[in-house]
Structure 1
Amino acid sequence: MTDTSCGFVALIGAPNAGKSTLINALVGSKVSVVSRKAQTTRTTVRGIVIEGAAQIIFVDTPGLFAPKRRLDRAMAASAWGAAADADVLALLIDARQELSGSAKTDRGAASSDTPHASAPHALSEQTETIVRALNESTTRKVLVLNKIDLVDRPTLLALAEKLNATLKFEETFMISAVTGDGLDQLRERLGRMMAPGPWLYPEDQITDAPIRALAAEITREKLFERLHDELPYQATVETDSWKELPDGSVRIEQTIFVSRDSHKKIVLGEGGRTIKSIGTAARKEIAEANDGPVHLFLFVKVRANWLDDPERYRAMGLEFPKS
């Protein structure tokens, strides 16, 4: 017999549902990158939370969408693989986005910035696809409606009712990952759903991601933040070297891989100003994650076929799809 419990909760949802923001908020520290660019999360990221005697291992997964490219298929496989291994599946829904296609206000189309009140007429195509897939799973499931600060309560209740009529959830939670509303109840209830057993990680560990992998993800986040509109999705970052120096600081060398010469010019910017600003922002956050000063050196390389290179997929922690 044991007084502790432990288990895995996979966060499943469409791109930009807020999974990375939620896992960071639950953990209380940055373990997953956040960007307004869709499909920023490319592989599973684990965040570890202690709730009473329970250790909850949250698994942030790539957003689920109709895969078209090889990278898309690899990300989808990673997400569904994490779902298959989880003890609880948490379907995260961006309530505002889910309602924006069908909900109307007296002024016409629903505003993206203000609450609206009309009940949803139909689920989005993305959500319907995910729900159909989840219907085939026997794993325990909970529904998490996110961004409740942007949607009024009658509308949220109508959306929750529709989703629960489509798929049987054990619990429904209404939260805002940004404001923190509802997160205490979510953690507490999921903690009670964990099975008795020993903890898998030390009490003070918040993620299983190596720091050099997290550092590469932080730089990729800053890359997309700075160049959201100019740079296509086909860019990745790898940490080439990590050397601890005698003064306690760390020297880090990273490579940004892009697929075209024109993309390299965008990343560098005039006189190198763009990559310098990316490096400055990334260095600050990497230093916080590493709990010590860092010296970050960024390089940009063109690799036209990197999306078809198995080595790049292994570096990202993804299985390379054969077709």
Structure 2
Amino acid sequence: MVVNAEHKSGFVSVIGRPNVGKSTLINSLVGQKVVIMSDKPQTTRNKIMCVLTLDDAQILFIDTPGIHKPKHKLGEYMLKAAENTLREVEVIFFVVDATEEFGGGEKYILELLASVKTPVILVVNKIDKIEKTKLLPIIEKYSALYNFAGVVPISAIEHTNLDNLVLEVKKYLEPGPQYYPEDMVTDQPERLVITELIREKVLHSTRDEVPHSIAVDIEEILTRPNDTVYVRAVIYVERESQKGIVIGAKGQLLKDIGRLARIDIENLLGSKIFLDLWVKVKKDWRNKEGSLRGFGYD
């Protein structure tokens, strides 16, 4: 393959504590909703690659699960998935929340980065939520603890300073080819993205005791003669009481979840969707190797 010396490409791992805005940042950078978002911690469970194609570069962002102390086998998988990316990329984004105090989570991530030679850019997110005078002390705090390749304050949700963040990344990319077509924004199969979109709606719609117990499995996707795509999906929970919460009174909550998910899936596929949702119990699935593999966490 002949590579244009002016064209750059490379991988960027996006890491940070849960709920600092990593997924929102990546969606904003690629200009499309690819990875799911929620105000619930530990929303992202898999490594998901998203593609930003520019005239002079193609940047491949890897969204990782929030780094946290694991409480079950699923948590261990998520932590390993995040840590494994640190030596596989050209650049690392360490995303921090400007509204949160420096704590044990940030300290642990800096300890992980101490053994990494990859350039690390500190991305201070949610600057729209703090007074301007508070930004410099935050940057000084982190910069005193680690020799960052760059520091970029941003607001992912308001798209503030994202152009400068992309320019900062380009400094550390080598000349390379365009790996993926211009219209491709993720390497994930449609089935997995649909699964995640459904799970996002459950996260938004249920109470605190349910979200982390949720898994979604797509049992069937087929195109009917009228060009409507039929999708049958099962939402798994760990307890009978959680099943009742997800279904809701007279099935109303499940209907709302299906309606909201269908809108996003139709935007993704560009087709009319018939979404057939079911809820089943799979006890303690987060601690069972077989269940984790079955849901794609391997």
With the length of structure 2 as denominator, give the TM-score of the two structures.
Answer: 0.95
Q: d(CA) in 2 for partners of 1:9 and 1:239?
A: 29
Q: Name which of 5, 22, 43 aligns with 2:8.
A: 5
Residue 155 (str. 1) matches residue 158 (str. 2): no
Note the C-alpha offset of 1:179.
Answer: 0.7
Aligned to 1:36: 39
Q: What letter is aligned with 2:90?
A: D
Matches of 2:199 and 2:259 in 1, distance apart? 13
Output aligned runs, 1:137-216, within 5 Å: 137-216=116-195
Q: How far is 1:192 from its partner?
A: 3.6
User: 3-state DSSP class of the match of 2:106?
Assistant: helix
Q: 2:60, 2:46 → 1: CA distance?
A: 15
Match of 2:79 in 1: 76
Q: Aligned to 1:288, what secondary structure does the other structure show?
A: helix
Q: Could you list the runs of 4 or more consecutive aligned residues of structure 1 that deviate by over 4 angstroms after TM superposition?
A: none
Cα 1:317–1:83 shift into 2, 3 Å = farther
**Which of 251, 254, 258 is the aligned partner of 1:272?**
251
Q: Hey, what does 1:239 align to over in structure 2?
A: 218
Confirm or deny that 1:20 pairs with 2:23: yes
Identity %: 36
SS of the residue 1:173 aligns to: strand
Structure 2 Cα separation of the partners of residues 75 and 229 of structure 1: 20
Alignment of 1:242-257 (within 5 A): 242-257=221-236
- TM-score normalised to the size of structure 1? 0.88
Letter in 2 for 1:95: A
Report the CA distance between 1:46 and its aligned residue: 1.1
- Following the alignment from structure 2 to structure 1, what is the Cα–Cα distance between the partners of residues 291 and 29? 30
Which structure 2 residue ranges, 5 or more long, are not aligned?
A: none
Tell me, yes or no, if structure 1 residue 53 matches structure 2 residue 56. Answer: yes
Q: Is the 8 A contact 2:36 2:200 kept in 1?
A: yes
Please tell me whether the aligned partners of residues 43 and 316 of structure 1 are also in contact (alpha carbons under 8 angstroms): no
RMSD across aligned positions (CA): 1.4
* AA matched with 2:106: T
Equivalence for 1:97: 100
Question: CA 1:22–1:292 in structure 2 vs 1: closer, same or farther (change >3 Å)?
Answer: same
**Does the Cα contact within 8 Å between 1:230 and 1:266 map onto a contact in 2?**
no
**SS in structure 2 opposite 1:78?**
helix
Quote the residue 1:127 is aligned against: 106
Unmatched 5+ stretches in structure 1: 99-122
Q: How far 1:26 sits from its partner (Å)?
A: 0.5
- SS of 1:233's partner is helix
